Amino acid sequence: MKRTTRALRSWLSASVAGLMLTAIMTGLATGDGFQGQDDDDRDDGHRVYAIGVWGDLPYSDVQALTGVPNLIADMNKQDLAFTVHDGDLKAGNSIPNSVTPTTCADALYTQALGYFNALRAPAILTPGDNDWTDCDRPSNGGFSSRERLDHERLIFFSTPFSLGQRRSRQQVQMEPLCLGVSGFVPCVENRRWTTGGVTYATLNIQGSCNNLCDTAPDPAEYAARNLANIAWMQATFQIAETRRSAAIMFIAQGNPGWDLTDGTRAPLRDPKTLVQTDGQPDGYHDFLSALRDQVIAFRKPVTYVHGDSHYFRVDRPFLDSSGRRIENFTRVETFGDNAANGNNDVHWVKILVDARSREVFAFQPQIVPANRTAVPAP
């Protein structure tokens, strides 16, 4: 069985790599490799602006009916260039007797679409494990995870535009590198855009071992998507260099784990070798290794936004192979569910962006006054 699995991975890696190389080389030669140019390509990079990031919400009825609407109203009161949800439209398992969608039925995605289109600014998202890889759990309806991701691609990613009341055009990973129910399909959830001299990209990177563990692991799906994510990430650095972007920001769902300090919230890995040490399947090593090389070569600020482990923080956990901190890399984890406390932690992060400043990004947690639980707003 192990020999068969290794053979499958070897064949899949070779096949996807061939498809990837052909698509990228064709795109670079003809200019057609990425569908559509984002509306901000002409931006001169001299303006200061703000964006909003959030995710891992809603996880309960009170969050779906009260907390998230409060959060959206709070975002809409501010002048944001765009917003990004970093995945997880529901809790990991359905909630008995809930009145809002908590399985992976179609109603879940309809509810989320309503949230995103209620935002005044362009609304961007990346999928989360709770809304596709974990949908095969019996408590979530026992769906095919590939079918649910295909459904998300149809509902949220069927055009090169964002969601939201004001929409922006984005570049889309149109090469058929990912695996859906019927075979290879475009990875349309992976997006890229430039605003104010900074390049942004979303990546479909998941919790739950990135689809290598849990109820129904799918090594073939992971292998294809992982190669596609690496290609999209590397191409993002190349485009940022070409555009002379001041910085790059990536947004994904999964917390890949960065070192040996965070075992309650993330995979444990040797920060020098990036090898996972906790005995779980490692769905992140190859991506992290490739990312580290690119960050070091880029030299300018790179921020990586993720959710997954529900703990707001801004830090610099990435080390080079000698154990030195990579000074131009920042990790931001958005607030996430604390369902036991009702609306507690239903908040968002404002990021101020100034391409002319040394660090480019400045981070401000936004505690939604109406969602304060432990200490009421003054």
> 266-301: per-residue pLDDT in tens?
999 999 999 999 999 999 999 999 999 999 999 999
Strands (E), the chain: 48-54, 83-85, 123-125, 171-180, 183-195, 198-202, 247-251, 302-306, 313-315, 329-333, 348-354, 361-366
The predicted pLDDT at position 25 comes to: 33
> 195-219: per-residue pLDDT in tens?
999 999 999 999 989 999 999 999 9
Separation between Cα atoms, residue 304 and residue 50, nearest integer Å: 17
Separation between Cα atoms, residue 101 and residue 56, nearest integer Å: 15
The predicted pLDDT at position 313 comes to: 97
Element (H, E) at 22: helix 2-30
Residues 6+ apart with CB under 8 A from 113: 155, 156, 163
Residues 6+ apart with CB under 8 A from 228: 16, 20, 173, 175, 177, 178, 187, 190, 204
Q: Are 274 and 293 in contact (CB under 8 A)?
A: no
pTM, two decimal places:
0.90
> 150-161: per-residue pLDDT in tens?
999 999 999 999
> 66-109: per-residue pLDDT in tens?
999 999 999 999 999 999 999 999 999 999 999 999 999 999 99
The average confidence (pLDDT) of the chain is 90
Task: Identify residue 61 by its one-letter amino acid code.
Answer: D
Specify the pairing of strand 247-251 against strand 171-180.
Answer: unpaired
Which of 142, 132, 133 is CA-nearest to residue 112?
A: 132
**Number of neighbouring beta carbons within 10 Å of residue 375:** 7
Percentage of the residues of the chain whose pLDDT score is greater than 70: 88
The predicted pLDDT at position 38 comes to: 46
Do you find a cis peptide bond into 58, omega within 30 degrees of 0? yes
Distances from the Cα of 118 to the Cαs of 54, 78, 82, 122, in angstroms? Answer: 15, 14, 13, 10
Please classify residue 92 by burial: count the beta carbons closer than 10 Å to its beta carbon, then call 0-12 exposed, 13-18 middle and 19+ buried: middle
63, two tokens: 């969050």
Separation between Cα atoms, residue 157 and residue 61, nearest integer Å: 26
Asked if residue 2 has pLDDT above 50, the reply is no
> 8-36: per-residue pLDDT in tens?
444 444 444 444 433 433 333 323 333 33
- Give the model's confidence band at 341: pLDDT under 50 very low, under 70 low, under 90 confident, else very high: confident
Separation between Cα atoms, residue 148 and residue 180, nearest integer Å: 9
204, two tokens: 């479909």
DSSP category for residue 339: G
Lowest mean pLDDT among 33-37, 220-224, 238-242: 33-37
Higher pLDDT, 5 or 243: 243
The predicted pLDDT at position 45 comes to: 52
Separation between Cα atoms, residue 289 and residue 251, nearest integer Å: 17
Separation between Cα atoms, residue 148 and residue 143, nearest integer Å: 7
The predicted pLDDT at position 343 comes to: 84
Percentage of the residues of the chain whose pLDDT score is greater than 90: 85
The three-class DSSP label of residue 178 is strand
Asked if residue 65 has pLDDT above 90, the reply is yes
176, two tokens: 């058929």
Asked if residue 359 has pLDDT above 90, the reply is yes
